Structure 1
């Protein structure tokens, strides 16, 4: 049975491509006599026009009533009107139809026993209800993000508009962000949408893949390459050979990342990135492409050190560092060997070198030590019967070993993603790999944005690769202070 399915999955797409090629060849042969098109220009275009009025779906050229589809990456347009492409069959794990079927003009034809847009659902389910529900919970513990139903450990996302715009493993993605308002097409018909972001075919650019380049992708990347060899310095998007630098402030009022290749990052000139002020270089210098040129009488990376100070710059920084690699543990301003912790007035950040950060004892919802302990200088002291960084694990367990392990297995049957141990139905990720986190140890916190060398700038928690900022902070790396003015 499996052999027959494999043969079918290989032969059917080949047959469809061959049939399309034969049809196009026959049509072109009857439409041309002696190399001259016998159709009028109007008749030729009519044969290439789609119901919505586009010639070859806007993805090819019309040659005597036959569409010559453009070659693009990823994938290739095909079909009588260039209206077929197989991008939509690709899945988040990099497979086509989850390797359980084949793609036919953007639609997955699933193998026996599987169904769904991407052949992701199994018709017969042997999972216990509790295990199935556990596999459908997002990192916040909500089943299918309240935007779908759980089927055998997989989320079936709500699809009221029949466009499939609610996607993702846990229905966490809103792909309506990819819809072009003018055409109504997802990514303008020139790319694939992954969790609200368009990934454009070669030669197309823009948030909705609406712009086409007149230069090759190679030339475009060459023009966008920064002196350090990175495209747009990893701080922007390359569009047709020009860098669109990322704006770190979602309000759009700031432009601290600039330069032809986004090589200038003036955030590094701020002691604390404060959207309310232009206090570059601690007010004692001028920011020049991310480097502070200090006024007379001041020194330091951010002109924070007065030369009138009895301590040298090196001695001042050493006194402020304590046991950390950065002054004031990255949570304060060092001046003449003294740390001023920020944000001002927040009693959770204390210590001579701002070494105590009691915010580290809070979970995403703000609960301290899971309600089963107290915080001491940024570390949880757990009550008897509880353990873990946030006192989240009970020492006693009323589950059998089999029941416990069932709750710790991922959908593909791997215990804690192979990166941790199971205790009472919960995964304890390997402590030596500090970056591993998540309900099933599936997350890599190294993917969280950094600023000044600190993950989430020390102003938030890394939640499965994304920064969750504490009150008063925002930005991809929680680097922007938006609290009370100071």
Structure 2
């Protein structure tokens, strides 16, 4: 390439860079170099890289002959002439960045024509009736914009005192004043972004207000927290300055179910589902080592549940206990030498040779059986005439017009049963093909409920909109911990 071509190429790349081209690739930087040697002094080079507050490349990159080479970070990349831009902190509305009505540019939403707002959530021309608009602005408690904003075309415009924008959220329910650093008055100490009153810190910073800085680089921190299977803290904890804070799912706080330098050990694997009655590891017949059972002499099995004195082999014993299920005793009891003991002991609602019947499934969280409109047979509701549904909760006929019915089934954005069910008598009947869809408006995903031993809520509670609501005597994220009387 001749000299003129060199000049034109460098000018073109420089234009792309100054427009905020998102790259940390050194192939795209231009420098005042001749033959690969920088002609700028160190002072001049750093001066070009400094932000107005004196940080070199915003603290997110390295200065190379007056040009910032930005370091990519999860969940996005820093870019811009001084690494000042990062699109992953753009405002969102209804879970969508820039409301899908614009694009993110250097942390700010550039809205499509006809839309405005920090998240492009407001429409300039409104075709909604006033009543419908107001209904869309009501929070779950029925208060318009949480009394901290005004309603515009079905969206809340939150109060903006002193132009700081500290009241946020779809219904102005978030108070970002909780993110202010008491000493400096800055949001998240100037080292993070506030989402609904919680600080999400930039790489290298941590603390409730992002007030503490790590003494190691983000790269080294990530390396130290990476587990042998390549996951950050084994997906069971958070990484802070190279150390994993493991999620402790034991609500008693006496000890951590999950531990290890990278949270690689999960002691829950040593608990058989119903050994939680006595809280014994490895069925009380072994030692738990990093989530694996080392059985005592005379016992065998993944959780030391099988006595070697039994005339049946472990495989034969489990086969007898399984019946038509993949789990011994349908996950509702303890298998010992081919015989099931259903749990909780003395609770007649769990019964059958293989504990295959669980009449608790007929109850709602208040304990009402089949909605008061049927009876339970082996865990299934047999409904009275005129009623149907899993728990006989739907009447077959009603004195309601289709319009009245559909109004009760619409979500705040006007979608009938969240697009995942049908409307009947003002109630949503969620799609039976998608078993995980639930909620009054089919807005919930029960796959988000915690599992233990492959069972949602361990079979000891009901999944309610992604969270386990445990029956009496059970607790834990997955209702896996027995806190009732010992047996």
Give the TM-score of the pair, scaled to structure 1: 0.70
Offset, 1:194 = 4.2
Cα distance in 1, alignment partners of residues 436 and 429 from structure 2: 13
The two structures, once aligned, show a CA RMSD in angstroms of 4.8
Aligned-partner Cα distance in 1 for 2:364–2:228: 40
SS at match of 2:294: strand
- The change in CA–CA distance for 1:370 and 1:172 in structure 2 (over 3 A counts) is farther
Aligned counterpart, 2:290: 289
Q: How many residues align?
A: 437
Contact 2:227–2:233 (CA under 8 A) maintained in structure 1:
yes
Partners in 2 of 1:208 and 1:93 — Cα distance? 25
2:395 matched residue in structure 1:
394
Deviation at 1:422, TM superposition (A): 2.7
Contact 1:272 / 1:481 at 8 angstroms: preserved in 2? Answer: no
For residues 157-176 of structure 1, what are the structure 2 equivalents within 5 Å? 169=170
CA separation of 1:137 and 1:438: change in aligned 2, threshold 3 A: farther
Alignment of 1:123-272 (within 5 A): 124=126, 126-127=128-129, 129=131, 133=135, 138=140, 142-143=141-142, 169=170, 187-194=188-195, 198-206=199-207, 208-209=209-210, 210-212=212-214, 214-217=216-219, 219-272=220-273
Q: Which residue in the other structure is 2:421 paired with?
A: 420
Name the TM-score, length of structure 2 as normaliser: 0.70
Residues 1:36 and 1:448: Cα distance change in structure 2 (over 3 Å): closer
Q: 1:187, 1:239 → 2: CA distance?
A: 16
Over 3 Å counting, the alpha-carbon distance change for 1:109 and 1:226 in structure 2 is: closer
Distance 1:275 1:92 in 2: 42
Distance (whole Å) between structure 1 residues aligned to residue 331 and residue 173 of structure 2: 33
C-alpha displacement of 1:286: 0.8
Q: Secondary structure at the match of 1:339?
A: strand
Shift of 1:110: 8.0
Quick one: structure 1 residues 287 and 195, their matched pair in 2 at CA, closer, same or farther if it must change by over 3 Å? Answer: farther
Change (3 A) 1:195 1:391: farther
Post-superposition offset of 1:107: 8.3
- Deviation of 1:208 after TM superposition, in Å, equals 4.8
Distance 1:129 1:394, change over 3 A: farther
Q: What is the aligned partner in structure 2 of residue 312 from structure 1?
A: 313
Q: Which runs of 5+ in 2 are unaligned?
A: 1-17, 20-39, 44-50, 61-67
Distance in 1 between the 2:459 and 2:249 partners?
17
Q: CA deviation at 1:285?
A: 0.8
**Per-residue displacement from partner, 1:344-382 (whole Å, max 9, x unpaired)?**
444433333222223322334444333333333222222
- How far apart, CA to CA, are the structure 2 residues paired with 1:146 and 1:349? 47
Distance across 1 between alignment mates of 2:154 and 2:348: 44
Secondary structure of the corresponding residue to residue 334 of structure 1:
strand
Q: Alpha-carbon deviation of 1:280?
A: 1.0
The answer on whether the counterparts of 2:273 and 2:453 sit within 8 Å (CA) in structure 1 is no
Corresponding residue of 2:370: 369
Report if aligned partners of 1:87, 1:192 keep a CA contact under 8 Å in 2: no
- 1:349 equivalent in alignment to 2:357: no
Give per-residue Cα distances to partners, 1:24-66, cap 9 Å, x unaligned. Answer: xxxxxxxxxx9999xxxxxxxxx978xxxxx88xx769xxxxx
Task: Answer whether contact 1:460 1:469 (CA < 8 A) is retained.
Answer: yes
- Residue of structure 1 in register with 2:281 after alignment: 280
SS at structure 2 position matched to 1:359: helix
CA distance in structure 1 between the partners assigned to 2:278 and 2:189 by the alignment: 39
Shift of 1:160: 11
Partner Cα distance (1:288, 1:100) in 2: 52
Greater Cα offset, 129-138 or 452-461: 129-138
Any conservation in 2 of the 1:204–1:213 contact (CA below 8 Å)?
no
Worse overlay, 153-162 or 204-213:
153-162
C-alpha spacing 1:88/1:318, structure 2 compared with 1 (3 Å): same
Secondary structure, aligned partner of 1:484: coil
Aligned partners of 2:165, 2:355: CA distance in 1, in Å? 49
Q: Which residue of 2 aligns with 1:480?
A: 481
Q: Distance in 2 between matches of 1:144 and 1:101?
A: 29
Distance in 2 of aligned mates of 1:335 and 1:146 = 58
Tell me which moved more, 103-112 or 125-134. Answer: 103-112
- Per the alignment, in what secondary structure is the counterpart of residue 330 of structure 2? helix
